[in-house]
Structure 1
């Protein structure tokens, strides 16, 4: 569905001169500094995939999305969306894709939500019957009718985001690009958005590429994740494999029934796990489960006392990404 071959995007920014008559010198002789926002990125996204595209601020996520949608022209490389180049065949390409930028709306600010949909339907050549059918469906799934006749400027952030996603899907595109769709939303609004996106992918077979800083979005929605850092694609695979590659420790909380004894510090230092806390009847240890098995850890800890309960927690995905970017 998406093919990106050796994508590179450079931006030229003017160098600000200092000193006397700097403005005059800049007027007649301007120098530029070259910034490489995206560097030689290649990947493919198959039809029906739900892919997370993540990385630190300034890594090149939004720049990549804008090249894939035809908003920005790459300095070098090529893009194909559904077999079409979005820069050369823009009209044909935009019929296949929907775009949602979390901090920008495609709706008309002073018009009621319903009127914006009428305008978008005309722009994309969506028939009256198709528009009615899709809006009825979206209205039910996203609960749009509560603000159907409200001007966009009076919507809450969560309402506007639901309205924007419905607008992006009005012409029934095969591919949906989402750039920070849950930014600033409360827990309830995020849950509604995630449920709808999951249904679009699962039940309607829509291909979705998502950029976000909300790691819960990635873990709950995406079957595949790509990590970009300093303009380069540094990882492309599944979330569990990414965790394995980083090797961050699993936190294990062991609750003891009755008295227990934690080994002396000199003994613990020789163990393949680390005691990070002792809370009443509970001991917290960290271990890399690729170096030592869970049952082996539990057997070792059972020598400290009578185990009542065990709880394990994998490292937060946000911590995985932070460690991956720093490595």
Structure 2
């Protein structure tokens, strides 16, 4: 079942730009320019792009914060702006730089107020809070005022607050921005377990591509308001020519002229005992290892997977 659909989604802003020493003129800028998107129930979608690509603007239209200039959009079967109050009961939103918690109240009391705002039955609220407390390790700071929490603790609180009313869709905009390594791991682990159940559809925007690799099977890349890639991470690697690298340590120099179909010798160290080969997508590492073992005694080897950061950078440059 499609839970999010957008067709020809567009958002224009009017800005004033300098047109002389004393004059300014109005200009229309398209932050989102004809985005088509369909997200199935239970899917985990990574929505990424460079600064100014239109990621946050798209999320604001999907959540009813902004009205589209053109196009159609439906979330949970509702029109976001026209039915924003009803939609708010069925979605959760976490923006990395904004809070839905009460600054001077203990975290526990913020959760209690949200139960009343969303009219969540007490038993359901308690069960969801119990699960979040266990997975996000909230007990140590449940009675601490929000203003005294560290950034990592507050983000765990924000995630809990967004889930206590049982949303069907969770929108996350930079949820790990500014977090330390330990906090990032806690948030990623929680989201991975949440997504594995299939109960919540997850839409994630981030500049931290490790979040995407850990959490999302499908990746949508936008640039200048347009979708430039929609598919799996593996398809992204294949489309932009990323390759795995095989690093082999040999007990003897590699014979001159060594070659194997599907692999390219990238570097050979001065003594000839360490070799790096890039692997084409159609060749397995085992084939190349067998060829290497036949040419010289192997001491050690490893395979470096292509970094998604390099692939996305190559996409942006293209």
SS in 1 for 2:172: strand
Per-residue deviation, residues 41-65 of structure 1 (Å, max 9, x unmatched): 0011000101111111211111111
Aligned to 1:286: 278
Per-residue deviation, residues 6-60 of structure 1 (Å, max 9, x unmatched): 10111111124553xx3xxx6xxx6312111111000110001011111112111
Contact 2:172 2:202 in 1 (8 A): yes
1:309 aligns with 2:272: no
After the TM superposition, which of the residue ranges 208-217 and 126-135 deviates more from structure 2?
A: 126-135
Equivalent pairs counted in the alignment come to 314
1:200 aligns with 2:194: yes
Q: TM-score by structure 2 length? A: 0.92
Contact 1:276 1:286 in 2 (8 A): no
Contact 2:54 2:223 in 1 (8 A): yes
Contact 1:277 1:285 in 2 (8 A): no
Which residue of 8, 13, 16 corresponds with 2:15?
A: 13
1:125 aligns with 2:119: yes
In 1: Cα distance, 2:158 partner to 2:254 partner:
58
1:84 aligns with 2:78: yes
1:219 aligns with 2:213: yes
Gapped runs of 5+ residues in structure 2? none
Q: TM-score by structure 1 length? A: 0.89
After the TM superposition, which of the residue ranges 126-135 and 76-85 deviates more from structure 2?
A: 126-135
Aligned to 2:156: 162
In 1: Cα distance, 2:279 partner to 2:135 partner:
43
Aligned to 1:175: 169
How many Å apart are 1:288 and its aligned residue?
2.2
How many Å apart are 1:199 and its aligned residue?
1.7
SS in 2 for 1:182: coil
Contact 1:100 1:165 in 2 (8 A): yes
SS in 1 for 2:164: coil
Change in 2 beyond 3 A, CA 1:166/1:277? farther
1:259 aligns with 2:261: no
Counting only pairs closer than 5 Å after superposition, residues 264-283 of structure 1 correspond to structure 2 as 273-278=264-269, 281-283=273-275
Gapped runs of 5+ residues in structure 1? none
